[in-house]
Chain A
Amino acid sequence: AQKVTQAQTEISVVEKEDVTLDCVYETRDTTYYLFWYKQPPSGELVFLIRRNSFDEQNEISGRYSWNFQKSTSSFNFTITASQVVDSAVYFCALGPDSNYQLIWGAGTKLIIKP
C-alpha cells in the first residue's frame, strides 16, 4: 500500500524558532519521488521540493532544509529561524514511479506567532 503520514496536525511556534515537520511514507516501489508543497492562506499549492528515491542527500535552500532517510521512510522538513510568512499548511506527497498520481499526507498546519 502507498501511504503518507503527517502525524502533526498543527504546530504553533514563536517567530525565529526552528521547526520540523515530519513525514513518513510507505511504498513497495523501489523508484519513487517525494514532494513538499506549501498551501498559504491564499489557497494555492506551492511546490517546494522533489526528491527521488535514489538521492538521499539532504537539501538546504535558504532557511528550508529536508532530511530524507530511506531507512526510516521519512522525509522531514525543517524551517530555521521561522517567520510569520511561513504560516501555512504544508503537505508531504509521494509519487510512485508507476503512474502520475500524487499520494498526499493530511497536511500540517504551521502557525508562526510574532
Chain B
Amino acid sequence: EAGVTQFPSHSVIEKGQTVTLRCDPISGHDNLYWYRRVMGKEIKFLLHFVKESKQDESGMPNNRFLAERTGGTYSTLKVQPAELEDSGVYFCASSLASGNLDEQFFGPGTRLTVL
C-alpha cells in the first residue's frame, strides 16, 4: 500500500513568487493534515481536512496560504506571494479514523526555500 506522498520534494523560489505543494494521502483516509517546520523550530499544525471540508484551519499563518482538497482526495497548499519566512519543511499527514487521534501517517515533506 502506498504511503502519503508529497510533491515536490524540494522547491526553491524567489520572494514574491507563487508555489503550490501537493499531498496525496493514503487511499481511503478521510483526514488530511498539513504541518510545517520552520528552520529547526517546532513542527506547527496548519490545518485539517475531513474529506473536502476544512475542519480546522486555525494554524494557517495568514491569507497568503490557501489549502484545498477538491473531491476529498489529494490536497494542495498554495503560498502566494511567498515570503522569506515561509521557508521550511511542509509535512502532510493522513489518518483513517476521525476520533481519538488515530495514527497520523506522514509524508516525506516538501522543503521550501524562499530566496
Contact = CB atoms under 8 A, between A and B. Distances in A.
Contact of B103 (A44, A47, A97): A47
A106 interface: yes
A30 interface: no
Contacts of B35: 102, 104
Interface of A: 4, 33, 37, 42-47, 50, 52, 91, 93, 95, 97, 99-107
B89 A43 contact: yes
A101 B105 CA distance: 13
Q: Size class of B's contact patch? A: 20 to 34
A100 B101 contact: yes
Top 7 A-B residue pairs of the complex, sorted by shortest distance between their CB atoms:
A45-B106, A104-B43, A101-B45, A95-B101, A44-B108, A43-B108, A104-B42
B59 to A, nearest CB: 7
A37 B9 CA distance: 20
Interface centre among B3, B44, B45, B56 (most CB of A within 10 A): B45
